[in-house]
Amino acid sequence: MLTTERSTVKPLEPWFIEPMYAEAVRELPDGSLWTYEAKLDGYRCLAAKRKDAALLWGSNNAMPVYDVFVDCAHCGGEHSVLLRIHLVDGPERKQSIADLFRGRAVPPQVAALKLHTALCLKTGKKFKLEEDERVFLVPTSFFSV
């Protein structure tokens, strides 16, 4: 039966569940209660929305971080794109995306860089990051003293 009265039952709020960390095993567990997912490189977190705030819990805090730079076709200089990405198997030194992933699949967070626009600081012109040979990943530790 439909009614116009509001329910007095309080809605359930999500609670925090500690993330499960991977560990090496010789055999996978068996049984109908187990499900498996492919692990893709990239951002991973648990999220919950409460009222006007979103809460995020991540387990990738130790994942290496890389700054993104571009070799500008307009002025010949090199500019920071002011983006950082997390990547498990990134370069140990400055390296172009083309060289780093030659013959390998490009992770989604790296492929998404082509959607970004950069700004030439000398000419003021905007341009897409379409050429992998001109886009570089630089470990953040590269700048450490």
Taking phi over 0 as left and psi of -120 to 50 as alpha, with beta for the rest, 134 belongs to: alpha
Measured distance CA(111)–CA(140) in Å, rounded: 20
What pLDDT digit, counting tens, does each position of 83-122 carry? Answer: 888 887 788 899 999 999 998 888 888 998 988 888 898 9
Q: Output the CA torsion sign for 78, 135, 114, 131.
A: positive
If one compares 82 and 57, the residue with the highest pLDDT of the two is: 82
pLDDT confidence of 145, banded at 50, 70, 90? very low
If one compares 35 and 138, the residue with the highest pLDDT of the two is: 138
Confirm if 130 and 114 have CB atoms less than 8 A apart. Answer: yes
Statement: residue 126 has pLDDT above 70: yes
Give residue for tokens 């993104």.
Answer: 68
- pLDDT for position 144: 46
Measured distance CA(111)–CA(115) in Å, rounded: 8
Confirm if 129 and 83 have CB atoms less than 8 A apart. Answer: no
What pLDDT digit, counting tens, does each position of 22-52 carry? Answer: 778 888 778 887 776 655 555 566 566 666 6
Measured distance CA(78)–CA(48) in Å, rounded: 39
Confirm if 67 and 80 have CB atoms less than 8 A apart. Answer: yes
For residue 105, the one-letter residue type is: A
- pLDDT for position 90: 84
pTM above 0.75, yes or no: no
Number of neighbouring beta carbons within 10 Å of residue 34:
8
Structure tokens at 84: 């950082």
- pLDDT for position 60: 52
Give residue for tokens 């989604």.
Answer: 108
